[in-house]
């Protein structure tokens, strides 16, 4: 018996599901990531990210955090450096 689903889910289109605000994904100082990051919860960057970030929760960029690329998030708190376009749902 084979089960198959043709449904495709997009992380950023799950707007009816609540954001998991109790958890924080962290990119620590000394860590570099290149590519796309998608998160259903809050995200803290203290390292370096080069690419696109989609966070359904709050984005926190610490003092040592560096982002080079496009950011889409619910809200943000930036102490570090962001080079690129930032789109936040809340101000």
Per-residue pLDDT tens over the stretch 47-82:
999 999 999 999 999 999 999 999 999 999 999 999
- The reported pLDDT for the residue numbered 90 is 87
Say if CB 34 and CB 53 are below 8 A apart.
no
Task: Report residue 23's pLDDT band, with 50, 70 and 90 as the boundaries.
Answer: confident
Q: What pTM value is reported for the model? A: 0.77
Task: Report residue 16's pLDDT band, with 50, 70 and 90 as the boundaries.
Answer: low
Say if CB 33 and CB 53 are below 8 A apart.
no
């Amino acid at each position: 018996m084979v089960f198959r689903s043709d449904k495709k889910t997009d992380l950023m289109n799950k707007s009816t599901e609540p954001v998991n605000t109790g958890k924080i994904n962290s990119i620590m100082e000394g860590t570099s990531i290149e590519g796309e990051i998608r998160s259903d919860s809050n995200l803290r960057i203290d390292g370096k990210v080069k690419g696109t970030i989609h966070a359904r929760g709050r984005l926190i960029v610490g003092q040592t955090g560096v982002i080079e690329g496009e950011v889409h998030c619910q809200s943000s708190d930036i102490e570090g450096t962001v080079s690129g376009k930032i789109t936040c749902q809340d101000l």
